[in-house]
Structure 1
Amino acid sequence: MQTVRDADGDTYLLVKRSAESSRVRDPTTGAERYVANDRLRVVDGESPLATAASGVPASVRRTMRAVHDDRSLGLLAVVVDEGPLSVLELLETADMCESDLHGTVTELRAAGLIDEVDVGGRRGYAATAPASEAIGLLRGGSDASGAAERDRSEDE
């Protein structure tokens, strides 16, 4: 498999090449079509796996890299749904010890999924827009096509 671009600048995965045309897959939709070989050029240095991943919205990719288990995903979902929450509220909500909670919050902050905020005069956390979007998409939200387009431009 290779990453290719057509004459319009659109990026695809090369599925199969024949003498006159090639079957390509759109990484965003998974749809396949045939394109004349003279309209395609191979993109050197771009991983076909990275191209395949580019069809998943950046907010979801970011979330997938930051959460390592159901508890960390659940913590993010709680902050999205109920936040902003103070640290004390998070400790009461989460079935994590303080050090595990601190580690998870640190990872989510580093990924840009939650921000530190003031909650009633106490330190707390609120979800960022990419976190809210990702949780919505992971729950089956209908904004997947628009989100993928916005996120692709965010990554560039």
Structure 2
Amino acid sequence: MKPVRDDDGTRYLLLKRSAEASLVRDPTTGNECYVRNDRLEPEEDATVLETAATGVDPAIRRLLRGVHDDETLGFLLELAERGATDVRTILERYDVCESDLHGRLAELAAAGLLEEVDVDGERGYRISDDCERALSAIRDATTASEDELTADAPD
């Protein structure tokens, strides 16, 4: 497999190449189709695995890269629920070490999951729009899974 792009800019994984057309898979949908070779060019700066990952929403990929443990995920979920919160309140509410909190805040902001905001004249944080979208998708998937389990359960 090799990453390729068609003349419209769509990224694919090249599965098989013949004389006139190539079998490609769209990483977003999983659909396979043939595309004329003259419409494809190699993606020199992308790997197969990076291209495969493009099948997942960029906001979810950002969340996956930025969250390394349950506490960090829980922190983002709390901020999503409570909204913008100042640092002093975060320290009091969640009983975290100040240096650990500042490290976590810096990592999450660098990952694009948090945004620094002013909360009543003090420095605070809120989740980014991408983080909100990713958390919403995860919650929706969790709710759908729970609904399926409930529907399959015997009465």
* TM-score band, normalised by shorter chain: 0.7 to 0.9
> What count of residue pairs does the alignment treat as equivalent?
141
With a CA cutoff of 8 Å and minimum separation of 6, indicate the structure with the bigger relative contact order: 1
Q: TM (normalized to structure 1)?
A: 0.75
Q: Does 1:10 align with 2:5?
A: no
Q: Distance in 2 between matches of 1:136 and 1:85?
A: 19
* Greater Cα radius of gyration, structure 1 or 2: 2
Residue 104 of structure 1, CA deviation: 0.8
Matched with 1:116 is 116
Tell me how far 1:34 sits from its aligned partner. 2.5
Deviates more, 1:10-19 or 1:77-86: 10-19
Aligned to 1:147: none
Q: Which moved more, 1:127-136 or 1:112-121?
A: 112-121
Q: How does 1:35-114 map to 2 (within 5 A)?
A: 35-94=35-94, 96-114=96-114
C-alpha separation in 2, matches of 1:7 and 1:115: 36
How far does the alpha carbon of each residue in 1:50-78 deviate from its partner, in whole angstroms, 9 at most, with x for none? 22222322222222222111111111121
Report the Cα offset of residue 18 of structure 1: 4.0
1:19 positional shift: 4.8
Opposite residue 125 of structure 1, the aligned amino acid is Y
2:46 is paired with a residue whose SS is coil
SS, match of residue 56 in structure 1 = coil
Deviates more, 1:34-43 or 1:128-137: 34-43
Q: In the TM superposition, what whole-angstrom CA distance separates every residue of 1:34-59 from its partner, at most 9, and x where no partner exists?
A: 23444433233322222222232222
Amino acid at match of 1:130: D
Q: Which residue of 2 aligns with 1:135?
A: 135
What percent of counterpart residues are identical?
Answer: 52
Residue type at the aligned position of 1:99 = S
Q: Give 1:148's aligned residue.
A: none
CA distance in 1, matches of 2:34, 2:56: 23
> Runs of 5+ in structure 2 lacking a partner?
142-155
Distance 1:57 1:83 in 2: 23
